[in-house]
Amino acid sequence: MKPVLSVEHLTIETIAAGQPLVQNISFQLAAGQITGLVGESGCGKTVTSLALLRLLDEKVIRQSGRILLDATDLMTLSDRTLRRVRGGQIAFIMQNPMSAFTPVFTIGHQLVETIRTHDRCSKREAKERAIEALLEVNLEQPDRILKAYPFELSGGMLQRVMIALAVCLRPHVLIADEPTTALDVYNQKLVLYYLEKVRATYDTAILLISHDLSVIAEMADYVLVMRDGEIVEQADVFDLFDRPQHPYTRRLLEQHGLQAGGMNA
């Protein structure tokens, strides 16, 4: 299957100390597949996700390697061109949904302006698309939500607003960084359901970052295991859970009460 996004020898380090945060990692994301990225806190998962969109502060952090979106190397693009790629071709659901929105503008203003930035349409058309997308992720009274400010919505609602935006823009790649963290069980299930819906409907390649292996086992087709800034194992989800090769992967499974072979048990 042809990859939508290919990461080749990505290395991320601090400029001042030359301290490596991520070391020489390579992986691919395929259309219509969910790839899980797992590992303990501080292993480099979030740094990697930010690097894919070059969102790290270039005054502090240096990154090298290649990040190919189809045939385009994102590492070579200007900031102006990258802004068109972000959101339009690659969408990002952040771990803290509040940080994804500007607090002084309404949800409607931010959705409409983002849609119009990536797709030429009138404000009325953009608003209609936003309302339709909010309904798709089961957010009732979309007109009220569009008039609300981010602080007036719960974390679960903001996560679904971000997924709704992805539905509007139909990105080739969706990066979801710990999208179920701090949500109750009901909202966790809703968020995962709509991620699956985006993948199935638009053939989107999804990078699902999580420390929760049970979420990865349920959602992912393929899994990357990260430890101390390195990918120590990558495999089909069934192979990884049934026949883990690396000692660290086996340890993670044991910590989560998952024994090798559990998926076929």
CB count, 10 Å around CB of 20?
A: 15
| DSSP assigned state of 216 | H
Per-residue model confidence as pLDDT tens digits over 228-243: 999 999 999 999 999 9
Specify whether the CB–CB gap between 223 and 237 falls below 8 A: yes
Closest CA to 177 of 57, 41, 75: 41
- pLDDT tens readout for residues 76-101: 999 889 988 988 899 998 878 788 89
- From CA 123, how far away is CA 26, in angstroms rounded? 41
Residues 225, 216 contacting (CB under 8 angstroms) = no
The whole model's pTM is what?
A: 0.91
Instruction: Kindly state the average pLDDT of the residues 216-220.
Output: 94
Residue 188 contacts residue 105 (beta carbons within 8 Å): no
Distance CA(68)–CA(151), nearest Å, equals 36
Would you say how long the chain is, in residues?
Answer: 265
What is residue 234's three-state secondary structure?
strand
Residue 162's CB is within 10 A of a number of other CB atoms, namely 23
The second-level CATH assignment, the architecture, of 3-264 is 3-Layer(aba) Sandwich (3.40)
